[in-house]
A and B are shown apart, each in its own frame.
Chain A
């Protein structure tokens, strides 16, 4: 990707920011129509810039599901509750509304409320729409979003459009029923269980119809696909082409997670997930017109707080039941905070011209791109402890500059499956898989043991850039690597030998 200098909405960013993560997704946004851009602008899940400033939360009001995916075990209530993928409490609509208002009052940056499970929100229409109805009335300053497998979508679109819905995520893994039959064993449809190819055919037709109807109504549609090697990997390119042609603004490809201990069909039958390289290749293929923003998180379904950060423990039900939220007053306060954020975002970005790396150091002419993983809790800073990072932002440094190429997580990817207990060795093995292809890990802090484990795996841990801006830190480390002769002919030869 060429690094472009952008000029978006009066905000002038010179090469310093243009070469950064903010640059790359703003660049992607620049191609969208203005109305869509405005919708995405404040959405922490879609706008790389907004996620530094705004937050979203999910409430778990929708437990039931109307289909079966081979990567889901449907046991969302796992015994250990502090890990990703575990939704601890199913809320009633009243409880969910209370929780949302309490969080919104305490965290004015919270602007998006999502329902994404633990089952399929649209398979629980009464619970989902009661939550939306109350929130649309009581908290007009909160945008609503919903994720679905699409089966029930066409029938509920009119109802959806009555609420403050801004976007819908549909998980579409295929457009070919023969492939679908290998992913979905059955669906529940018109009061019957339908199996095999017929089931996939109905599901696919409903998903596509739902996508078309939503686009026609002007609702943003994001499509998620789970990459299942050997089943839909090549096929996803066609899925991408079709959903974009129909108007999906973003196609997000996620890795299959199929640990055998989760007891899913794929876990049991040994269906593997993709390697990081396979995932990246496919994401590159599906990105096509750059509309895909890879920083989209695979977040915990009841997470609260800034993206990547989990403040759920502050808002458990018993704490919320005791609160009496004056939302009218809170809304005034929220409006002030939002105005301050907008003022800050509208201000010209500080001009920190960094010369292209190649002129700083002629040696870079012979250098190659290096992937680095960054542990960040948000704000564009290297500010997370390695041990706390469940997700890493992946940056590529090359002679052309620094760019965000994606986010990888050891966590969940859909609204159903629970992750089961991992020993620390298993967890580290998982993290190593997530870090595959990265040569450096940047974090705020790292323990002695993981430091050694990373080094043993050939990855350089680095905590010298704690609290620095990510782009600056990545660029600095890249220069150090070069200065240390990492890209010299001899080093390259050694690496080849050891590879």
Chain B
């Protein structure tokens, strides 16, 4: 039973000090959970601490590879809307009104 940090991680450090098992390490290219140390917080907290503070959707996955924070769960932007927004990003929309 262990969680894994994958490459969506932005190395923000938020998870590292919270881990009750000191399983999280600052590493390159991104933070890393030592699977032998991670307990998924069972016995310590109701929710896995790293996944409860991680700001990036999809950065932490369980043993089955399922994201603890799936797309849309943190930003409120559904995957469909995100795809549409990404497309729009490349269209020339004025962001600021210049007087």
A residues at B contact (CB < 8 Å):
63-66, 68, 73-77, 90, 119, 123-124, 126, 185-186, 188, 191-193, 258-260, 265, 268-270, 272-273, 275, 277, 432-433, 436-437
Contacts and interface: CB of A to CB of B under 8 A. Distances in A.
A74 B17 contact: no
Given A191-B45, A192-B47, A260 B17 contact: no
B99 A185 contact: no
Contact of A63 (B12, B45, B82, B88): B12
Contacts of B17: 64, 124, 126
A66 B55 CA distance: 9
Contacts of A191: 45-47, 49, 52
25 contacts: A64-B13, A64-B17, A65-B12, A68-B55, A73-B10, A74-B10, A185-B74, A185-B76, A188-B14, A191-B45, A191-B47, A191-B52, A192-B46, A193-B47, A193-B52, A265-B75, A268-B82, A268-B85, A268-B86, A270-B88, A270-B95, A272-B95, A275-B96, A432-B98, A437-B99
A270 B45 contact: no
A403 B19 CA distance: 53
B48 to A, nearest CB: 10
Contacts of B95: 258-260, 270, 272-273
B82 A275 contact: no
A191 B95 CA distance: 37
Contacts of B99: 275, 277, 436-437
B39 interface: no
B83 to A, nearest CB: 11
Given A193-B47, A433-B98, A75 B10 contact: yes
B16 interface: yes
Nearest to A263: B89
Contacts of A259: 95
Contacts, number: 85
B interface, over-half SS: loop
Given A77-B11, A433-B96, 8 more contacts: A73-B10, A185-B75, A191-B46, A259-B95, A265-B77, A268-B89, A270-B93, A275-B99
Interface in B2-61: 10-14, 16-17, 45-47, 49, 52-53, 55-56
A112 B54 CA distance: 32
Contacts of A123: 14
A494 B95 CA distance: 29
Contact of B74 (A186, A268, A437): A186
A76 B13 CA distance: 11
Contact of A90 (B13, B14, B47, B97): B13
A361 B90 CA distance: 53
Nearest to A264: B75
Contact of B53 (A188, A265, A272): A188
Q: What 5 A-B pairs have minimum CB-CB distances, sorted nearest first?
A: A63-B13, A64-B14, A188-B53, A193-B52, A64-B13
Contacts of B82: 268
A436 B97 CA distance: 10
Contacts of A124: 13, 17
A269 B14 contact: no
A301 to B, nearest CB: 14
Contacts of A193: 47, 52-53
A268 B81 CA distance: 10
Contacts of B14: 63-66, 119, 123, 188
Contacts of B85: 268-270
A496 B95 CA distance: 26
Nearest to A457: B98
A96 B88 CA distance: 42
A432 B95 CA distance: 14
Nearest to B88: A270
Nearest to B55: A74
Contact of A65 (B55, B77, B88): B55
